[in-house]
């Protein structure tokens, strides 16, 4: 096993790995199959092994960059674990959440917070047009994106002040990108690939990893990747 072929850029590796994944996992490309999965899994998501409740060390690195008047756009909020952590530190939230099943759980959970329900855009990030916000935040929500270089550039152009990406590292919490070439299996952690793609774009950023102990007692690294556009 190796990292990626030396001659292949991180952005090309991401696309090639995505195209390989399509061959074995229908959810990668098929939106209806993805939604079928969340119809069954979303109601038990927070009971299984959620990430947000165990990320205080990560969020403590995020909060100082937020302002009470900020408009925050969150890509892929899921059931709202991170949104609930962010809400007390900003003024307005817009969500980009394509899954109706996940948003149903978000809405149910959000009623307990006392905050006004955020505006939601029911589209994939790749399909959102003319989005603008002070801060963009996303946690473990880029696994179905084909062209990560374009997605990151769009995030960069959307946020006025700051972009924060949280990405789990290592199985079973986050499978790496993988592809076979000349009988050799190459793998690349998504967090590392995102950082390398940002380097391709010439976007200076901070890459930090934090050990996080999950509900089931397992500990793994989680990356915080952030920058000022």
Q: What is the pLDDT of residues 64-73, one digit of tens each?
A: 999 999 999 9
- In this predicted model, what pLDDT tens digit does every residue of 35-58 receive, in sequence order? 999 999 999 999 888 999 999 999
From CA 65, how far away is CA 60, in angstroms rounded? 10
Which residue from 14, 1, 5, 3 is spatially nearest to 197, judged by alpha carbons?
14
Range 8-22 burial, b when 16+ CB lie within 10 A, else e? bbbbebbbbbbebbe
From CA 155, how far away is CA 107, in angstroms rounded? 25
Calculate the alpha carbon distances from 101 to 35, 38, 41, 44 in Å.
Answer: 7, 6, 9, 11
Which of helix, strand or coil describes residue 41? helix
Residues 166, 171, 174, 176, Cα dihedral to 10°: 110
Q: Which two tokens stand for residue 66?
A: 């937020």
pLDDT at 229: 95
pLDDT at 184: 85
- pLDDT category at 6 given cuts 50, 70, 90 is low
- In this predicted model, what pLDDT tens digit does every residue of 181-229 receive, in sequence order? 777 888 999 999 999 999 999 999 999 999 999 988 889 999 999 999 9
Query: Quick count: other Cβ atoms within 10 Å of Cβ 164?
Result: 26
- In this predicted model, what pLDDT tens digit does every residue of 107-119 receive, in sequence order? 999 999 999 999 9
Mean pLDDT of the chain: 94
- pLDDT category at 94 given cuts 50, 70, 90 is very high
Based on the number of CB atoms within 10 Å of its own CB, is 159 exposed (0-12), middle (13-18) or buried (19 or more)? buried
- pLDDT category at 140 given cuts 50, 70, 90 is very high
Calculate the alpha carbon distances from 133 to 10, 74, 127, 139, 143 in Å.
Answer: 27, 10, 16, 17, 23
Q: Which two tokens stand for residue 12?
A: 């090309």
- Confidence check: pLDDT of 1 > 70: no
Calculate the alpha carbon distances from 208 to 223, 225, 226 in Å.
Answer: 6, 6, 9
Each as own residue / partner, the long-range contacts of residues 89-95 (CB below 8 Å, 24 or more positions apart, any chain) are 89/63, 90/66, 90/135, 91/67, 92/118, 93/118, 93/119, 94/118, 94/119, 94/120, 94/121, 94/131, 94/133, 95/119, 95/120, 95/121
DSSP state, 13? H
Whole-number percent of the chain with pLDDT over 90: 86
pLDDT at 4: 47
From CA 70, how far away is CA 91, in angstroms rounded? 5
From CA 210, how far away is CA 140, in angstroms rounded? 15
């Amino acid at each position: 096993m190796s990292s990626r072929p030396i001659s292949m850029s991180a952005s090309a590796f991401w696309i090639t790995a995505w195209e390989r994944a399509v061959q074995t996992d229908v959810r990668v490309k098929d939106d209806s199959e993805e939604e079928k999965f969340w119809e069954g899994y979303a109601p038990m998501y927070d009971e299984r092994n959620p990430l947000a409740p165990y990320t205080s060390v990560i969020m403590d690195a995020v909060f100082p960059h937020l302002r009470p008047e900020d408009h925050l756009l969150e890509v892929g909020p899921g059931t709202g674990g991170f949104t609930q952590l962010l809400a007390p530190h900003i003024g307005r939230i817009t969500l980009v959440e394509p899954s109706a099943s996940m948003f149903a759980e978000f809405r149910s959970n959000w009623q307990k917070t006392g905050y006004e329900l955020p505006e939601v855009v029911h589209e994939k990030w790749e399909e959102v047009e003319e989005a603008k916000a002070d801060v963009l935040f996303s946690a473990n929500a880029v696994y179905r994106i084909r062209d990560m270089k374009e997605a990151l550039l769009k995030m960069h152009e959307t946020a006025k002040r700051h972009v924060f990406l949280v990405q789990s590292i290592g199985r079973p919490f986050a499978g790496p990108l993988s592809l076979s070439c000349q009988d050799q299996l190459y793998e690349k952690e998504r967090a590392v690939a995102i950082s390398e793609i940002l380097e391709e774009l010439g976007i200076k950023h901070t890459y930090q990893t934090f050990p996080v102990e999950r509900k089931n007692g397992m500990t793994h690294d989680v990356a915080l990747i952030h920058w000022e556009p």
